[in-house]
Amino acid sequence: MAAYKHPISLEAALREVTEERFCKGHHYKDVALTDAMVAQIVRVKSLVNMGFINTDITDEALKDLATLPKLKLLFLEDNKQVTGEGFRYFAEKAIDHISLDGCAVTDETLKTVLQVPRLKSLSLKRTRVTFEGLMAVAHYNKVSFYLDKPFTDEQIKAFEQAQRTAGKKKPAATLEEDLPVVKQLLLDFFAAMTEWEAFAAKSDDTEETELLVQEKCKVLFEKYCTDKRRAGYRPEGIHFSLNEGGTYGGHQIIDNELVTKNKIYLYTQNDRDDQFRFLIIRKDGEWRIDECQRHDGGWTKYGL
């Protein structure tokens, strides 16, 4: 059951975005705000982050919202009259994030939403989109989707795999013969890191021991990783997990991507379902781990 909507006047709605000289945005929630009010609100051209959560707006409000020159974040949760069809007005309007949780988005209107140029992330929790409709847009691999019900964990994983597959480039030359070597390299690195972290966790805090911990970490990286500097991260910045198995004890390799003849991504998932990818490069005829990235609404740098 949707939350009760409180009455709101146009004067009160405008006050929220005009009290500051350069207002960057406001989230209206549980108010009977209408399309006509949105037409007045968008006269404030500095708005960047806007939310209309459980209001009375429809897809027609998007025609006015598309005129905001700086709009980058748009939250439209629990608006039952918003189907996503209104994003046809955004055909030439780039925006970073859209949330349509609890809206009446269908398989067909989802296609309209995804026509928004340079969209980075889209939240589709509690919509009418089916698994078949979701898989039909897996080729939008540069958009990060936030999903829960009605999709199962297995369906979400299948969709993420389909996105990865759609984003893979055809390698300059086949590296199938190198994959076992690269996978074993990463697994050996995980095992070595687990052993090192167990040693570090049991060590005392004397200066001599701390130097030994750092030296062992340095040797480990020299064996498995490229020699580029990793300021703030291991092996320069020493840190370790106190959890059983350490940082990588729960990681499993779930996919690979052959980028070029000298670059491979290996994708992993830990026991908390967090996903990572490791860039492995071939240098001077030897494969070495170059960097780690974590999936968090996109791939971001993450220390080894």
Phi, psi (rounded to 5 degrees) for 254 = -115, -15
What is the pLDDT averaged over residues 248-257? Answer: 91
- Output the pLDDT for position 171: 60
pLDDT tens-place string over residues 137-178:
999 988 999 999 889 999 999 999 999 888 876 665 556 778
- pLDDT tens sequence across 55-72: 999 999 999 999 999 999
Q: Are 224 and 259 in contact (CB under 8 A)?
A: no
More confident call, 298 vs 29: 29
Q: Could you report how far apart the first and last alpha carbons of the chain are, in Å?
A: 46
Residue 173 in any domain: the answer is no
Same domain, residue pair 132 and 100: yes
Domain match, 125 and 72 both: yes
State the CB neighbour count (10 A cutoff) for residue 254: 16
User: Whole-angstrom Cα distance, residue 261 to residue 183?
Assistant: 16
Q: Are residues 105 and 224 in the same domain?
A: no
Per-residue burial over 75-99, b if 16 or more Cβ lie within 10 Å, else e, is bbbbbeebbbbbbbbbeebebebbb
Question: CATH number for the domain including 200?
Answer: 3.10.450
Query: What single DSSP character describes residue 191?
Result: H
Quote the number of domains for the chain: 2
Same domain, 150 and 197: no
Shared-domain flag, residues 238 and 150: no
Which CATH number characterizes residue 113's domain? Answer: 3.80.10.10
Whole-prediction pTM: 0.70
Q: Are residues 112 and 211 in the same domain?
A: no
Per-residue pLDDT tens over the stretch 209-236:
888 888 999 999 999 999 988 888 888 8
Q: Which domain holds residue 44?
A: 10-167
Mean pLDDT within 269-292: 91
